[in-house]
Amino acid sequence: MNRTYILLGLILAVLLVLPLMLSKYMLGIFIMMYYYAYLGQSWNVLTGYTGHISLGHALYVGIGAYTSVFLAQRYGLSPWIGMFAGGVLASLIGLFLGFLGFRFGLRGVYFVILTIAFAEITRLIVSHIDALGSFTGIFLDFNPSFKNFQFKGNIPYYYISLGFMVMSLIVVRILETSKAGRFMVAIREDEEAAKALGVNTFKYNMFAIAVSAFMTSLGGCFYANYIFYLHPNTMFGMSLNIELILRPIVGGLGTLFGPVVGSFILTPLSEVSRAYFAKGGMEGLHLVIYGIITILVVLFMPKGIIVYLKKWLKPILSKE
């Protein structure tokens, strides 16, 4: 058996038993590591594999969160079902955004502006709808049960977020090895050349944004039922967009494990440094360190940390 699969199996086994050895604080950090790895992987489907840069993916996080919570509070629908309703709605909005962008050939900064505009417009709309909490946001009642996607303690959330991350790896791996995935990479490398060779670039761009939006939206439902509070500025804001894209960029854009590696480095760094400097009365200093490390990685490891990690692991993972 390939040593890569053995190593991945061992890592998964360790992660499955890890909650038994973690404090409540560390358990929360791991939950967010998996969560941001999942969101980064969802964004990676569009930007990493087609080259279309989106700075508005918080739009889909917010859609998933607000849709599932609204359906649960207004109609008593389980978030497990509302989650997929939010995913479908996010995909439809993503397809509309994609139609405007891809049909009119928007690339680069023009596509970026389009994605930011959609996220900001949605944030403003939600901020003025009373049924969605308006400017004050929505507080979720705590009614722990599997049906309500709410649990006592963090261990269930740990396994759900781990499941989300593993699911995203499986989906992207299948995508990588499919015809659609190969066409998406061709679009990323040279869209005009791909079009000249007969690739329906519009079709596969639309496919990529629909899948990416759907996956990202599911993460929004998880987040809503983990923190029990939604606010338009948090769910649709630029800060979430930045957090979301940094993981795959630092880990390795357009690679399978890049978002995971990036999240496993940046998320604990952010959380631990935030807590450490807050105790010393130096709130905000962690953002400076966080930014400096990100800049250094981008400057000296432009292809991401995963490239160097693979070189280090290659002698170990080579077949006997």
CB 46 within 8 A of CB 52: yes
Q: List the one residue out of 199, 70, 177, 57 whose CA is nearest residue 115.
A: 57
Residue 45 pLDDT? 96
Domains of the chain (ranges; CATH) run: 3-317 (1.10.3470)
Residue 316 pLDDT? 66
Phi-psi region of 291 (alpha: psi -120 to 50; beta: other; left: phi over 0): alpha
Residue 320 pLDDT? 46
Residue 107 pLDDT? 84
199-249 pLDDT, tens digit each: 999 999 999 999 999 999 999 999 999 999 999 999 998 889 988 999 999
In angstroms, the CA 86 to CA 99 distance is 20
In angstroms, the CA 289 to CA 292 distance is 5
Letter for the amino acid at 176? E
- Residues of the chain scoring pLDDT < 50: 1, 320
Model's pTM, two decimal places?
Answer: 0.93
In angstroms, the CA 71 to CA 115 distance is 26
Residue 278 pLDDT? 67
In angstroms, the CA 89 to CA 111 distance is 21
Q: List the one residue out of 216, 230, 226, 234 whose CA is nearest residue 86.
A: 216
CB 279 within 8 A of CB 268: no
SS3 133: coil
Residue 86 pLDDT? 96
Residues 6+ apart with CB under 8 A from 268: 29, 33
153-196 pLDDT, tens digit each: 899 999 999 999 999 999 999 999 999 999 999 999 999 999 99
Residue 294 pLDDT? 76
How many Cβ atoms sit within 10 Å of the Cβ of residue 158? 21
Task: Say how many residues make up the chain.
Answer: 320
